[in-house]
Amino acid sequence: MGTTATHPSRRTQTNSAANKASGNGQLARQIDLKHPSLYINRELSLLAFQRRVLEEAQDETNPLLERVKFLSIVGSNLDEFFMVRVAGLKRQVEAGSLEVGPDGMSPADQLEAIRAEVNALMTNAARCFRRQLAPALEQAGIYVRSFTSLTEAQKTRARKYFENSVFPVLTPLAFDPGRPFPHISNLSVNLAVIIRDSAGEQHFARVKVPEGLPQLIRVDASRRTRRSSGWRI
């Protein structure tokens, strides 16, 4: 009866592979692959992406207007995040759901964590605009101003714009015990105001800011700044 000889190097490779497989098996038994610490929550991961977008707005090596655009992207992404992700979690909480995902977080736990992350994100975004972007825009000749900080000539132009372009399309909707509260649509800007009818009676009303109007309007620069343009929110 014949025998087959095996080259020593081949036996070494076989033993090495067997030892590696055995080691992997022992490691797998030591690590619980279902442990929540091994998984990243999907919603918190999306917020981490928004932090990276904000970092682009904070990066001074990027063109100025690109940085402004990155900051606006953070805002629009958060709008969608709350409409879709947060709304879904709130529905789960209202339904009494206690189900947890691979990360071990219940819907209520996720909402609590999201609140903390979003608060920090919005604080940093506001700081980025106030301390970095607004001063840089002013150096470039672009001033973002409120109505009260305008010159009288600029206020006159702003009032004329309001009277000709804004006021005609405003539709106040009064509500009281006899009228239901009006529907507030997503991503809309609404004002709660006190209005007075022709008889002098006051009513509490909602005024929706028309979506087609720009959020920024251009006004003439004051002579003191000697800049070519000025802007107000």
Q: What is the pLDDT of residue 225?
A: 45
Q: Is residue 44 situated within a structural domain?
A: yes
Give the tens place of pLDDT for each residue, 177-223.
Answer: 777 888 888 888 899 999 888 888 888 889 998 888 888 888 875 54
Q: Is residue 187 situated within a structural domain?
A: yes
Q: Is residue 56 situated within a structural domain?
A: yes
Residue at token pair 């009032």? 159
Residue at token pair 């000749």? 141
| H or E segment to which residue 205 belongs | strand 202-208
Quick one: what percent of the chain has pLDDT higher than 70? 82
Instruction: Tell me, yes or no, whether 215 and 131 share the same domain.
Output: no
Instruction: Tell me, yes or no, whether 151 and 74 share the same domain.
Output: no
Q: What is the pLDDT of residue 172?
A: 86
Instruction: Tell me, yes or no, whether 128 and 71 share the same domain.
Output: yes
Instruction: Say how far apart CA 59 and CA 65 lie, in whole Å.
Output: 12
User: Mapping DSSP to helix (H, G, I), strand (E, B) and coil, where does residue 81 land?
Assistant: helix
Domain that holds residue 84: 36-140
∠ CA 61-64-68, nearest 5°, is 115
Give the tens place of pLDDT for each residue, 79-100.
Answer: 999 999 999 999 999 999 888 9
Q: Is residue 22 situated within a structural domain?
A: no
- Number of helices (H), then strands (E), belonging to the chain: the values are 7, 6
Q: Is residue 29 situated within a structural domain?
A: no
CATH code assigned at 197: 3.30.1840.10
Instruction: Tell me, yes or no, whether 198 and 136 share the same domain.
Output: no
Give the tens place of pLDDT for each residue, 152-170.
Answer: 999 999 999 999 999 999 8
Instruction: Say how far apart CA 199 and CA 208 lie, in whole Å.
Output: 24
Q: Is residue 89 situated within a structural domain?
A: yes
Displacement of CA 53 from its chain's centroid (Å): 10
